Each structure stands twice: as C-alpha cells, then as structure tokens.
A and B are shown apart, each in its own frame.
Chain A
Amino acid sequence: MNNFPILSFLTFLPILGMIIVLFLPKKQELSIKVTTLVITGLQLVLSIVLLMNFNYSAGGINDPNSFQFIEKFRWIDIPGFSWIGNIKIDYFLGVDGLSTPLVLLTAIITFIATLSSWNIDKSIKGYFIMFLLLDTGMMGVFVALDFFLFYIFWELMLLPMYFLIGIWGGPRKEYAAIKFFLYTLFGSIFILLVMIGLYFSSMETLVDGTKVFTFNLLTIMDPNNYTPYGILSPLNPNNLRLIAYIALFIGFAIKIPMFPFHTWLPDAHVEAPTAISVILAGVLLKMGTYGILRVSYPIFPEITMSLSWFIALFGMINIIYGALAAMAQKDFKKLIAYSSISHMGYVLLGMSALNTMGISGAILQMFNHGTITAMLFLIVGVIYDRAHTRDLDAFGGLGVQMPAYTGFVTIAFFAAIGLPGLSGFISEALVFLGAFGSGTTRILGIISTLGILLGAAYMLWTLQRVFLGKLNEKWKSLPDLTAREYFMLVPLTAIVIFLGVYPTPMLDLMNASVNSMVKFINNAQVFYSSLNSF
C-alpha cells in the first residue's frame, strides 16, 4: 500500500480514460459513457481506499513528514549556477486532513456528474474528453504540494471548463464561457506572479548542501528557508509580502467567488449544463478556499493574522449579499448560484477565525456545501429537463405531481438552510462558534447570523413557489424521478443525512491537520513578529 502511487492513479486515471475515449469511434456513444463512468467509478473506489488507509493522527499542513501517500521525485532538474539556470521542480503529491476530504468530494461529485451527463446529446465524445480532462485538473489541484505543479493543474481546468460551458451550455453560453475564462485567467496571473516571487525568496538545501530556489510549498512555508534578500522574504525590508498576499488572495477569491469578484458565477451556472454546474459549484468553488488554506495561510501566517478581520468581513458580505441577491432571483438556477455565494461566505468566515472550530467548520462546510449544492443543481436539472424552463413563477404545486422529487428537494433545501440533523447545520454551527470564539471576528459573526434567517426565507419561499400551492395545469404530465435520477440523488442525500447525524468520521479526518494549522499559524505569528522587531 505504501509504495503504490495511489495519488498519481487518482489524478491520472481520467487522462487514461480520455485516451481510451479518444480512440473510441464517435458512434459508440454508450461505450464512451460507460468508459467514463467506469473511470470515475474507479476513482471513487481509489479515494475510498485512500480513506481507509488514512492515518488520522498525522497533521500535515507544513510538516513534510506527516503528509501521507507522498510521491516525490525530481521532475525538472537543470544544473547550473545559483541563478535560475539551476532549476529544480518536484513532482510532489501528498495529502493531509485538509485535502483528503476534498479529494473524496471530487471523486464523489465527478462520479455523480458523469451520471447526470447521461443525457448530453451533441458531440458526446468531445464532451467526455473535456470532462475527464477537467477531472484530472481538479484532482491534481488537491493533491499537488509543489506550487508549480499546483499551478499547472489549476490552469489545466480552465480550457475544458471553457468548452464545457461554451459548447454544451445554454443560450448565452459563449458569453458565460468567455467571462468565466477571462475572470479566472485574470486571477491566475496574480497567482503566477506570487509563485515566481516566492520561488526567488526561498531556498531548499539539497543533500549535497547546495541551496537552490524551490517551488516546494512545504519548504517555502518554513520561514527559515527564506533567502535574506529574496523579493518576498520577511527579512526584506520592503512590504511586498502584504501586496503579494493580497494579489494571491484575489487570485483565489475569484474562484470562490468572493464579492465583488463573483459576477461570473451566476452566468456560468445558468448557462452550464447540469453536470457542469454540479462540478462547478461542487468542486471548483472549493479550490479558491482550498488554495487560501493550503498556500496563503501557511506561507503568509503573519499577514493572515493581521488581515483576518477583512477576510471575515468579506465572508459576512458574501453571506448576506448572496442571500439577498438570491431572494431577488426569478431563475431557479440563478437563485441556487447565489445561494452558493452565500454559503461560501460561511467558509470564508470560518477560516478567518483562525481557531480550531472555525477552520474545521470551514473545511467541513466546503465538503457539505459540495454535496448539498450538487443536490440542488441536480434538482434544478431534473425540473429543467422536464419543463424546459427555470422560471420560478411558472411552477407551483409540483408537490402533488412529483412527491418523491419534492421529498429530495425538501431535504436539500433544509440542509441548505442548516437544519439540525442535516450536514449543513454542523458546519455552519462550527463556523459561528469559531467566529464568536475569535475576538477579531466576533461582531462580524454576530451580523452574519442574519444569513441563517435570510437563507430560510428565500429557500422556503422558493419551495412554496415551486412545489406548494395549486398545481399549474401546464405540468399535469410531468413524470416523477427516473431510476437514474434516484441513483444520483440518493447517495448524496445519504451523505447529507449521515454527516448531519454523525459528523465524526469527517471531523476526525481533518482534526489533526486543523489543529496543527492553528498551532502553526499562531507560532509562526510569534516568529515573524520577532523578525520584524530587528
């Protein structure tokens, strides 16, 4: 088990599948779909194997020795002088309690998204090729521990996403696609800049004692590795670190998406096909917050500390702004999209607290939001496939017509508004506990509790507009859920309920990492302040 490169398999299985699909003839639609399904299924199995062999006591975050399933070897190794001619890049994969939940999430969501892609009708082959490529990109981001590798995977997702939205999307797909692309690229150039900046600021000591610049995130995290006059080194009297942090933050925030960089999301969601919306909201949004936790936090702990209030502020804005904006929507999918913005706000709020409860809450919320929002988008997809409209006012009384469907909807909605017994509650509660626990974010936390109320308001209102009241004659003939749709919704529902009743498995998974992160940031704070003193 220890020498089996499970993470590489997780990451590159989809590429394999892509190649297979590439050689399948266009006409073999079914076999293409099945191949994809098998591949994603295998991925899911692997991720569960990963989970079963996971060592719950290993912290990770900044300590290379407590990462698990590490695969590390020189990828680019160019000898030369001290300057960039000498460049070493590692192929460095590994997981800890922070990434494992998201790896699992990715596997689950992709598998379900494959199922929901079943009714894609035009140019199936292209679709699944892009789909699998996207899968690799997402998985890679979550397992990469080398900044360069991380960035490659990060960018790798852009193009497939562009095509998936742009070719298989709705009426204004081209607009949505380009908007998504330009926004994210705009964000990632900042990431790139900071990446290069960090590369020139931190040195890794090789076995033979020579020092070389490095992309290795864990090496960069260790403040002792900074070169005295590295452009982003804390020893450097310039205050570029702050600017770099903000740039990096913006880069990630666009993916979250954080107000005011969120306007790509509603368009992208509305235009994207259901499966893609599911992936977009279920996994892609998490990359933003994951990036912040994985990169920004441990590398710039002192700045994280000093800016936590602003992060919390944006979290609060996201929560309330998103909820209010959602309330104003007429389009079912757009409403869910805005609700995602609101829910990602909880993640931001939680991480800003910088204490155990807050960060666990944030990570848990990432996972829960992933599953819940996936359900919600599937739900929208179901109704859209049948009625071919998403206008909330066009419906009503579907509760009579499609009782089973309504059942799932009710669960999903109440999970979304944080009803106890469903997973959403625990993460939100932890987030608020965290926010209250830290003096800096307490007030913002209190204000954010409004989100609970607003969330209930727009969700129940939607529930009423679509499912309650008199049945609109137009929809007399809508069939209830098909077997496939059951197959997509039931597992998610199971997860949502299980984690709502018994979150321990998921929390144990991340406890060690969360605690070591909290410890690391607080200790690092001390270290850096000592630096600034002289």
Chain B
Amino acid sequence: MTETGIINISLAILFLPLLGFIVTLLLGKKIKSIYLFEVFILTVTLFAAIFVAFIKLSYYVDDRIIAEIQWFKLSETISIKLGFLIDNMTVIMLFVVALISALVHYFSIAYMKDDPRYNRYFAYLGIFTFSMNGIVLTNNILMMYIFWELVGLSSYLLIGFWFEKKSASDAGKKAFIVNRVGDIGMFAGILILFLTYNTFSFESIFHSIAAGKLPFNSDFWLTMTGILLFMGAIGKSAQFPLHVWLPDAMEGPTPVSALIHAATMVAAGVYLTIRIFGLLTADAMMFIAIIGMLSAFIPATIALTQNDIKKVLAYSTVSQLGYMVMALGIGAYKFTFFHLVAHAFFKACLFLGSGSVIYAMHHEQDIRNMGGLRKKLPLTYATFLIATLAISGIPLTSGFHSKDGILASSFAFGSLTGNWIFAIVGFLVALMTAFYMFRLVIITFHGQPRDQHKYEHAKESPFVMVMPLIVLAGLSIFIFYTPNPLNADEGWFISKWLPAPVLSAPNNTRFDFMQETAGAVTHNPSHGTITYSESYTEAMHGAHNPAMILALVLALSGMLLAYIFYQWKKINVDKLTQAIKPLYTFSLNKWYFDELYDKTFVAGTIGFSKLIGWFDAKIVDGIINGAGNLTRLLSVFTGAFDRIVIDGIVNFAAYLSGFIGLIFRRIQTGKVQTYLILVIFSIIILLFLFND
C-alpha cells in the first residue's frame, strides 16, 4: 500500500459523498428509495476511512503525506494550488467524520421516515460529509476556506430543512450570517498570508515564518493574522461572542444536530486552530484562551437552567468547544485534539440519544414533560448514561482522560505563568457540566412520568436508531485510547499517534515555556507527553495527579448535587430559584445575547439600509429631480409644463427652459411690432457691447 494509494483512497473518501449528493438530489423526485444509495455510499466511505486510518497509523505513522495540484494561475509567479495533507490527525478526523456521518445516516432512516423531502435530506447529509472531509484533508488555508463555506451552506440547508417553520428558516439564516462575520476575519487573515508568502499551503507558510519572514515584517501582524484566522473558528465553533447561532440551530432535525452541530462541523473551528497552531504567538494564544474560557463558562451557566433537552446539549456543546479552544490557547495541543475526538463521540451519542427520546415522545422536547423513561427506553438510557459519565469526566471513560489532560495543562500553565484563571474556570466548568448533565439525565429518565399520555405511547426506538447509540457509547470507553485507565499519557493515542506541534512563530513571541532553549524541544513522539520545554514537562507531571483528583472530586460533587436536587429532592429547587431569581432568569434568558444583538447589530443594519434606501430614492435622485420638483410648482402657473416635464435631468432642462421659456413666451407675442422693438433694442445693446 503506497502513499499514492492512500492519496487515491482519500480522494475517494472526499468525492464519494459528493457523488451521493448529486445522484440523490437529481433522482430524488423520480426514485423514492434513492436515499439507500446515499446510505450505501456513506457505508463505503466509512470502510475506506477505517482502511486509510489503519494503514496510516500502522505503517506510515510518522509520515506526513502531501499531494498538490495547480488549480489555476494568473502569471508565472502567481499560481493557486489545491492539495492534501494526510497526517495522523487527518486520518483520525476522517474516521470520526465518516463514522458519525454514517451512523447518523442509519439513524435518520428511521428518524426522518415519512418526511416529504426524505431524499433531499440525505442528499444534504451527503454534501455536508463531502465538505467536512474537504476541511479535514486540505493542506492549504484557501481550500480550507472553500470547504469552510460549503459546510456553512450545508448547515444552512439542514438547519432550515423544515423551512415552512419561520423559526427554522430564521435559524438557518442566522447561522449563515453569523458565520460570515467570523469568515470575513478569516478571509482577511488568508489574504494577509497569501500576500506575504505568495502561497496558501500550511507547510510553506510555516517554513517561511520559521525562516523569519513576517507579515509586514512585524510580530504584531503575525499575531493579528493568527487572531484573524481564529475569527473563523469563533464563528464555526460558536465561540463567544458569536455563539448565539448554535442553540437556534437546534431547529434542524436532531440527527443533523448530532452530526453537524455537536460532533463535526463545530469542531472544525478547533481543527482549524490546531492546523494554524504553528504560527500563533503568545498574544494570539492568550486571546484564544480568553475567548475559549468565556465560551466555556457562559454557556455552562446557561445550560444549568434550560428545559429543552436539545438546548441543554447545545449549550453544553458550546461550553465543551470553549474548553478545547481554551486548552489550545494554553498550549494543551494534544489533549485538545483528544478531547475533540472524545467529545465528538459522546456528544453525538447524547444527541442521538435525545433524538431517540424525542422520537419516542413524538417530538416532545421539553424535559419537564418527560420522566421515568428509563423503563421504557432501557437501551437509550444506558447509552445516554455512559455518554453523560464521559462528558462529566468520570473514570474509565474517554472524557475522563481528555478533560483531565486539559485541566492538568491549565494547572501547569498556571504554575508556569502564574495565571490561574484558566485553571479555576476549567474546574468550575467541570463541576457545572457534571451537574447539568445529570440534571438532564435525572429529569428525563428517572422519577415519575409527568406526561402520562405521551409516556404510555413511548417505546424503545428501532434497531437502526439504537445501534448507532451503542457504537458511540462504546467509543466513549477509555480502552480505545489508552490501556491505562488512570493515565492516558502513555496511551497510543497521545504518545504514538499525536506528534508534538511544530512551532514556527519567532522565539521572542512565544510563551516562555515554549521557547526553544538548547535541546529542550523534542519532536520525538515516543517520549509521551514531552512537548515544549523541560519545565513544561515537569509542570505537567506535577500537575497531573492533583488535577486528576480535584477534577474527579468536582465531577462527583456535581453529580451528587444533581441527585440531591432532582432525585432525592432534598432541596426544593423552586425555592432556590426564587431565592436567586435574578441570576436564574439571567441564565434562563441566555444572558440576553440575542436581544442585545437584535437591538444593536441587526436593527442597526436594517435601519441603516432603510436610511440608504430612502437616501437613494430621495436625495441622490432628488439632487437631480429637485429642480424637477421646483418645476412642478412652477408648472401650476404654466399650463403645458407637466406634460413636458418628466423627471431627473430632464426636469432640470425643463426647469431652465421654464425660466427662459417663460420669458420667451412673453417675447413671442405674435405682435410683429414687439419683435421689431426687441430687434432695435438688441442692436443698441450690441453696439454698447462691441464698441471698444
């Protein structure tokens, strides 16, 4: 199996879903069951992905496979290329995307049954998978942007899939436009990169940076470039302050939420940041970390009080993504990716689980009308629980490791830079996560059913829907990532598969612990977690155990609290909410972000456009017509005017002629003697004019 072989299979992985999309869309009207083709395609893609991942990780584990072709050229010097970069992250992501996508396909077969636009739905899933694979495979930032926009499109289409609902179409529009805001920044960043390095490929850009070539020759602009590019991630990964679109995106079908708005697309932002990690300066990373921190904290507080099962999950997604971004910002490169993958599985599992619940409850989403479902939906319950444990970071789950790693890094970061805020927030969020997740589980599955009627009719979902749950729940177990249930560092995922980050930002712009001091940096992945400087490694070792214990304690206490509140009802929740009413409502209303944006940006733009519209109609045209309007006044006196006058510049002419013309009318009296008088007079005038 050669590298070209890998390239070809990757090509297949990329384009098969596109084929599925085209076929399904075009034949959708004719053939009722064409969706099966799409499902088949995805299955093939999945196997291809597994195969590639296997080959790569077992035979080419240390290689970076790159292939480029020219797309178009403008002159001998300027030519635009497209290409693949296949390293371990790529294949792992490919596998994740293909797997979840395939599972969602299966799930949807049952979930979306008896929808009028059944086939088109699968077609959209196809184009989404295509674009997502594109993002994963690309080796250059331009191609990244292209597929970036395409996932945006597919997400727009899928969120607004039930476009008869205004809320749905609104949500789609919102998602697209909010993303565009981020994309503008990313686009600007890309432009800067191209103008500086005359290429889009990550590789070459990093090389030139390492060689000391900086945008506009300044560290500042390197930082800016990093931040601008990261803006794209802010949009896609629904980071603060652009996180508002994700919760609305839940208007889409639940499997879509699982695929796009939980597991893959929203993770693309993080993936992008990982890809550009090499050029990030300390300032840029700080910025990223802060954004991540805010996005981890704020949604977590919101999730505490939400009652829509999908909304809770949505906010938890934002919060988890914030977690990853923050982690990246403080340099926890490998654990970010680890958490990304782990999160993809268990969050997908949670969403599909919620989907299965909603399906059983006939599209009831409010958890206050649920309860006691664990007897009715045992399998759903079991998988949901496992995923919940994973996200809360209870041992033996993937989440435990990834989260632990991140928290340890934040600990280390604190100890190295004396900046503890990230650690604090990190632990706080861990606590809250455990709490609201178990609140969700308890209210939904435990206790007594609140809506008897719906409860009666609820029954376990069919196999095609449960099977994905089981697979995903399974993948939330630690064993797939590391043999040691308490420490992932020696596990193959961290130590073998993930190489240390390649840093190219100038030394003086990095965090101290990242700077290249003599022989400190080693890119030899066999040395487990050793990245950056020795001191960092020390700090990591030191941080590992305390962080783990603390995290565990917090997770458990969060769990406990949830039980006290909602299971054993030791504390009356309503009383408590009454007690902290303002906080509660503040959280319930999502910190009023939507209201704020509507009042400011949206209203502002619309208002301004109205103004411009008026301006255009009245002023710009008016400057020309203004004369004309005068003329209309004039025309009251002079009969024939209106007919002649049209508008615009014509009015102006007519206006002038109005004046002159009026005089003329006086002149042209038809009385020959008047004429002669005028002739005489003009002769005299001329006499004076030309008598020099």
Contacts and interface: CB of A to CB of B under 8 A. Distances in A.
Chains A and B touch each other in the complex, with CB atoms below 8 Å apart: yes
Interface of A: 174-175, 178-179, 182-183, 186, 259-260, 262-264, 321, 324-329, 356-357, 360, 397, 399-400, 403, 414, 419-421, 425-426, 430, 432-433, 436-437, 446, 449-450, 452-454, 456-458, 460-461, 464, 467-471, 502-504, 507-508, 511, 514-515
B453 interface: no
A211 B190 CA distance: 53
Contact of B180 (A327, A420, A430, A452): A452
Contacts of B610: 328
B614 A263 contact: no
A453 B170 CA distance: 16
Contact of A421 (B72, B75, B150, B184): B150
Contacts of A467: 163
Contact of A504 (B72, B180, B612): B72
12 contacts: A175-B646, A259-B620, A260-B623, A324-B605, A327-B605, A327-B606, A400-B164, A403-B29, A433-B191, A446-B188, A450-B184, A452-B183
A260 B620 contact: yes
Nearest to A183: B649
Interface in B138-163: 145-147, 149-150, 153, 156, 160, 163
B19 to A, nearest CB: 15
Interface string B649-661: 1100000000000
A464 B616 CA distance: 25
Contacts of B113: none
Contacts of B633: none
B169 interface: yes
A469 B74 contact: no
A183 B646 CA distance: 13
B650 A178 contact: yes
B176 A456 contact: yes
B608 interface: yes
A449 B181 CA distance: 10
Contacts of B450: none
A175 to B, nearest CB: 6
Nearest to B194: A433
B366 interface: no
A356 B75 contact: yes
A437 B169 contact: no
A198 B532 CA distance: 68
Contact of A399 (B29, B147, B163): B163
Given A419-B153, A420-B150, A436-B195, A507 B72 contact: yes
Contacts of A436: 191-192, 195
B241 interface: no
A349 to B, nearest CB: 13
B184 A449 contact: yes
B624 interface: yes
A443 to B, nearest CB: 12
Nearest to A341: B616
B674 to A, nearest CB: 34
A259 B71 CA distance: 35
B649 A324 contact: no
B173 A464 contact: yes
Nearest to A518: B75
A491 B277 CA distance: 43
A457 B145 CA distance: 19
A325 B145 CA distance: 28
Interface of B: 29, 71-75, 78, 145-147, 149-150, 153, 156, 160, 163-164, 166, 169-170, 172-173, 176-177, 180-181, 183-184, 187-188, 191-192, 194-195, 605-606, 608-610, 612-614, 616, 620-621, 623-624, 646-650
Contacts of B195: 433, 436-437
A344 B426 CA distance: 50
Given A321-B612, A436-B192, A179 B187 contact: no
B173 A469 contact: no
A250 to B, nearest CB: 13
Nearest to B174: A460
Nearest to A449: B184
A460 B164 CA distance: 15
Contact of B164 (A175, A452, A469, A502): A469
A453 B646 contact: no
A328 B614 contact: yes
A21 B624 CA distance: 40
Contacts of A432: 187, 191
Contacts of A457: 177, 605
A397 B164 contact: yes
Contacts of B180: 452-453, 456
A105 B172 CA distance: 34
A262 B149 CA distance: 32
Determine which residue in A324, A425, A504 has the highest number of CB atoms from chain B within 10 A of its CB, and name it. Answer: A324
A174 B644 CA distance: 12
A460 B452 CA distance: 42
Given A414-B153, A453-B184, A460-B173, A325 B649 contact: no
A175 B176 CA distance: 39
A328 B177 contact: no
A32 to B, nearest CB: 32
Nearest to A321: B612
A531 B74 CA distance: 32
A397 B183 CA distance: 29
Nearest to A436: B191
A324 B29 CA distance: 38
A179 B653 CA distance: 12
A357 B252 CA distance: 40
A159 to B, nearest CB: 17
Contacts of B606: 327
Given A324-B609, A437-B195, 6 more contacts: A175-B646, A324-B608, A324-B612, A432-B187, A449-B184, A456-B180
A502 B71 CA distance: 7
A186 B650 CA distance: 11
A419 B155 CA distance: 13
Given A414-B153, A419-B149, A420-B149, A504 B646 contact: no
Contacts of A397: 164
Given A420-B145, A469-B166, A452 B191 contact: no
A368 to B, nearest CB: 14
Nearest to A460: B173
Contacts of B75: 356, 511, 514-515
B358 to A, nearest CB: 23
Contacts of B163: 399, 464, 467-469
A514 B646 contact: no
Given A436-B195, A456-B176, A456-B180, A449 B187 contact: yes
A503 B71 CA distance: 8
Nearest to A464: B169
Contact of B647 (A179, A403, A437, A464): A179
A235 B164 CA distance: 69
A357 B75 CA distance: 9
Contact of A507 (B29, B74, B150): B74
B22 to A, nearest CB: 11
Contacts of A460: 156, 172-173, 176-177
A263 B188 contact: no
B652 to A, nearest CB: 10
A263 B164 contact: no
A105 to B, nearest CB: 19
Given A419-B149, A456-B176, A179 B648 contact: yes
Contacts of B164: 397, 400, 468-471
A471 B163 CA distance: 10
B624 to A, nearest CB: 7
Nearest to A359: B74
**9 interchain residue pairs of minimum CB distance:** A328-B613, A327-B609, A420-B146, A468-B169, A468-B163, A324-B612, A324-B609, A504-B72, A436-B191
A178 B652 CA distance: 13
Contacts of A503: 71-72
Given A449-B184, A460-B177, A468-B169, A356 B78 contact: yes
